Amino acid sequence: MNFSTLLQNVQFVTDAQGHTQAVQIDWHTWEALMAYLEEVAIEEEATEELLAIPNLLEAIEQSKQRVKAGEFIRYQDLKREV
């Protein structure tokens, strides 16, 4: 279940004047929302860990530039018979 599907299952509770006072979701949607948020948190944590690697962004940029300049070796060219 993706996030937009989750939002379709949200129900709003309003007061007599029509002002939204609360949000209500069923248990299945709640569990799916918690799983989604956990997945996002894990992805963010992994991104933070990767970005903490010294010079990672510079190395990625250098690799992009080498590919643009044609300075790379294709996997097919490296294969050998064993």
Contact present, 62 and 47 (Cβ < 8 Å): no
The pLDDT score that the predictor gives to residue 80 is 65
The pLDDT score that the predictor gives to residue 3 is 73
Dump pLDDT digits (tens) for 22-62.
989 888 888 888 888 888 899 899 888 888 888 888 888 88
Q: How far is CA 11 from CA 20, 23, 41, 44, 67, in A?
A: 10, 6, 25, 29, 50
d(CA 12, CA 68): 51
The pLDDT score that the predictor gives to residue 29 is 87
Identify the three-state secondary structure at position 30: helix
